[in-house]
Structure 1
Amino acid sequence: MQDGNYYYKPSIVGKMDNVYWLRHLSHKVVENAFGDKLCGFTIALEAWRRGLTVTVNSHRASQFQSYVISSAHNSIQFNRARIASLTAKRAIAVLNNKYTTKESLLKEGVPTPLGKKFNFNDPYESVIDFVRLIGWPVVIKPLVGSLGRGVYTNINNDDDLLVYCKYIIEKLNVKNYLIEKYVVGEDYRILANNEKIFAAAKRIPANIVGNGVDSIMKLISVKNAARRKNPNYYNRMIKIDNEVEYYVKNKGYDFDSVLPKDLVLYLRGKANTSSGGDLIDVTDDITPDIAHAAIKAIKAIDGLEFGGVDLLYDSNTGNFSIIEVNSRPQIGHMYPTSGLGRDIPRMLIDTYFPEAPVRHEDINPHFVFDVNKILSPLVSGVAGSITVAPKKNFENFVRRRYLLKGSLSISDNKLSSRLLAIAKKHNVFGSVGKDKEGRLLFCLGGDKLAVSYFINEVCEILSCIKESSKIWKGVIKQSFIVNF
């Protein structure tokens, strides 16, 4: 089911038969928050649209990392998507070490692969002895780390394992690492707290599909170009490294090879979106056993409120294993490669701020706060924190586009100051610029009468006439921006 008022089919991600994103979080709404700012901005935006107070802190402000959401009776600190106020430091300490995470899961009876930690000084023979005990294939991963860095999967022999051991120790400077049994299954990322599932997605390793014409290098370039248009994948490209080179060579190709039409070539073993993987929504398809295990995994980490649970599921046998838990997960489930985008920000505000003054159904989906204006003084060090101006409530919200024609005998600086003053007077938001012929182009939003009064006053003061007036379908920021 795709509700036309809630979802839209984005053309920017390419020809997908089954992909729908959230209309109120369209790529236009979040265009200034692609990549690292996405999690924090979308949660804060939902809160602001719902009448809650949002205060952004200067710590890593360029990534919209630290912020506080408050109501009249409740205040919660967030770190991107981590519910920081409700997440104990002891939980973060456990999750920052993959082996202590494994121990916590095993203690509570949560299925997780057999594994053992090693130090860079341990003789390679001791690693091989352990592998022969648990059996090939195996996975190697740094004891501390995130985003799949230094994780190599499905290793099947001594020589390859030695190569990866040397690489993470000598090139990545890893001091402690984990060897664990490789588990067959599809890679899932589930967002949950200790009571319920928020969303589930299948993660597909970085891949390209042959067309019988283009080289592997060209196909990677085309895939990356499409990823840049996805708010979640924007800075998560398929990068050519040792692992990608290995996967290409292992299939008998080089980067100049032309893949046969419709042939899928996987470029990595791990499926993290940070390393080029795709996200496929499966929220409606996960089994009760998997849902229960994900919630149990959150509960197994003492002091964890909300997180991302990574598991491998074998659909043929029904077996699964939890391989990792993250206290600050990406919430890119809003922008899948295939399937329905899931409204994680709404679910978080509904769950932790049920007293929000505005229902989600009553928000204005065309109105946003200006993230660049909020972050600029924080990034520059001018301010330590900034509270976003309360959301303006409109009696009769309209969006209009006006083109004004006239002889402007005034400098751009004076014109800018005059327009900003008039916009403030009438409480009108939007932007103004000039076209090639020097005509003023306004994209405005606000109360219907206020917008009308504003444009009439501008025409009178500047001796302009309205050459055109039409409905405008773009997003309105709670600011007035002069683009000249």
Structure 2
Amino acid sequence: MLSSDVKYIFSNISNNKKNVYKRIPTLNTMRQYVNITKRLGFNYEEGLGRGNQKAVTLKRIDGTIIGELKDMKYPNNSRESMKLVKDKIAAEKLLRLSGIYTTNSTVYNENDLSKAKEEFYSSKSDRLAVIKPINMSGGLGVNVRINENDFDYFWNDTVNIIKGTSNREVNLMVQDYIEGFEARAVVIEGKLISIVARIPAYVVGNGKNSIKNLVQIKNRKRQKCAHLRKRPIVLDEKKEKFLNYNDLNFKSIPNKGEFVLLSSLSNISNGGEMVDITDDVCDEIKSSAVKSIAAIPGLYSGGVDLIMKTFEDKEPRVIEINAWPMLQSTLYPTYGKQYAPQEYFLKSFYAVDQFKNSPKQIYDIENHNDYVRNLMIFQQMKNEIHKQQILNNLEKL
């Protein structure tokens, strides 16, 4: 993402209302599910999963069990689908076989720095790279828009983050940096819920204050919002490097109205913001998100990370799929409309169960046929995509 992309987003969104959340009961996804299941009046039982995480057993009125929300898994998502999306290379292949625009990655281990650097820049020395872990989520260890001079620094940064957060084998992906801005689409039970642009930390100049001062001012404003107050913008070495690459530093004074990006990492914990763009993007972008979930066998709910150049981009790139997306950007966007993905899941899950199994006692779910119809349409899409994958794979034999 470039500073010009941030300006584009704020100049073209239909809803630029900034949300200030005075209080948020909990940011834990499973605790939210417990609270919402109770509020909607569905029969359920609380439990614990791995790591003492909350779990919810979903029940019919007569007490029989329909399914579980446990260990960061939706009931309809198969274990195989979760393994597939964690294997980013396998997911890329499935997306390409499905005719979906995506990335083209190469995997290396931690000792392959020289090899990776030589292979990536051999064809073109001014290429920009993305370096990220092969099996981590939440933006951890992701570094983007890396030139040849800084490749070693960001490679080692990713390696150190992997080592510091797990005992797993250190494997990294290197791929081309794609121009445009990143957005997270949330698809629940085959239904697109929202698309939220993920904006890295930035400031807007006033012609008077330095970047450092503007960050201090912005952090004071973030303190007023329950969703942002524990996520201040921190001016660290990586942000300094990012600014230096754009011939800026912490003492630079941006012009009035000038957008200045401070980072390439677009998650809220790094000082970023979330802007709802669901009603602004074209149908092709929405379709790409839903088709991406449909392309993974056994996957019905998940998050899709997209890169687009504009809201009218007919060929957005899918860069990642997550089988258990964090829903905070959908529930608590910094700008724009709020959505209720967990409520949609619960109503859909119970409505579909009642349609399939006809229990004697049923819940009164408003527009229950819509949930069933949406899932049936999605399943049909899934079947058609899987046929296409088989045909495309056979052509390569």
Point out the structure with the larger helix share.
2
Residues 138-161 of structure 1, C-alpha deviations (whole Å, 9 max, x = no match): 2111112111111111223x2111
Q: Could you tell me which residue of structure 1 aligns to residue 203 of structure 2?
A: 208
Point out the structure with the larger strand share.
1
Structure 2 SS opposite 1:103: helix
Alignment gaps of 5+ in structure 1: 1-15, 362-484
Match of 1:312 among 271, 282, 307: 307
Q: Structure 1's 195 and 60: CA in aligned 2 closer, same or farther, altered over 3 A?
A: closer
CA RMSD of aligned residues (A): 3.1
Residues 47-71 of structure 1, C-alpha deviations (whole Å, 9 max, x = no match): 2111113433344788x64333333
Please state if 1:350 is matched with 2:347: yes
Q: Structure 1's 359 and 329: CA in aligned 2 closer, same or farther, altered over 3 A?
A: same
Q: Could you tell me which residue of structure 1 aligns to residue 290 of structure 2?
A: 295
Q: How far apart, CA to CA, are the structure 2 residues paired with 1:197 and 1:321? A: 17
Structure 2 SS opposite 1:154: strand
Q: How far apart, CA to CA, are the structure 1 residues paired with 2:230 and 2:56? A: 22
After superposition, residues 59-138 of structure 1 pair within 5 angstroms as: 59=49, 65-72=54-61, 74-79=65-70, 82-122=72-112, 124-133=114-123, 136-138=127-129
Match of 2:176 among 177, 181, 187: 181
Q: How far apart, CA to CA, are the structure 1 residues paired with 2:143 and 2:300? A: 29
Q: Structure 1's 226 and 66: CA in aligned 2 closer, same or farther, altered over 3 A?
A: farther
Contact 1:200 1:281 in 2 (8 A): yes
**Deviation for aligned residue 1:281:** 0.9
Alignment gaps of 5+ in structure 2: 1-14, 164-168, 355-361, 368-397
Please state if 1:238 is matched with 2:229: no
TM-score (normalised: structure 2): 0.74
Structure 2 SS opposite 1:311: strand
Q: How far apart, CA to CA, are the structure 1 residues paired with 2:317 and 2:303? A: 14
Contact 1:281 1:336 in 2 (8 A): yes
Please state if 1:223 is matched with 2:223: no
Q: How far apart, CA to CA, are the structure 2 residues paired with 1:359 and 1:104? A: 36
Structure 2 SS opposite 1:339: coil
Residues 457-481 of structure 1, C-alpha deviations (whole Å, 9 max, x = no match): xxxxxxxxxxxxxxxxxxxxxxxxx
After superposition, residues 224-373 of structure 1 pair within 5 angstroms as: 224-233=219-228, 235-315=230-310, 318-332=314-328, 333-354=330-351, 357=363
Q: Larger Cα Rg: Structure 1 or Structure 2?
A: 1
Aligned residue pairs total: 334
Contact 1:50 1:357 in 2 (8 A): no
Q: Structure 1's 107 and 131: CA in aligned 2 closer, same or farther, altered over 3 A?
A: farther
Please state if 1:199 is matched with 2:206: no
What letter corresponds to residue 239 of structure 2 in structure 1? V
Q: How far apart, CA to CA, are the structure 1 residues paired with 2:49 and 2:218? A: 33
Match of 1:43 among 33, 41, 48: 33
Q: Which has the higher mean CA deviation after the structures are superposed, 173-182 or 230-239?
A: 230-239
**Deviation for aligned residue 1:197:** 0.8
Q: How far apart, CA to CA, are the structure 2 residues paired with 1:42 and 1:149? A: 24
Q: Structure 1's 130 and 216: CA in aligned 2 closer, same or farther, altered over 3 A?
A: closer
Q: How far apart, CA to CA, are the structure 2 residues paired with 1:76 and 1:236? A: 35
Q: Which has the higher mean CA deviation after the structures are superposed, 162-171 or 43-52?
A: 162-171
What letter corresponds to residue 143 of structure 2 in structure 1? Y
Residues 216-256 of structure 1, C-alpha deviations (whole Å, 9 max, x = no match): 33433443444455454454443333321212333444334
Q: Structure 1's 181 and 253: CA in aligned 2 closer, same or farther, altered over 3 A?
A: closer
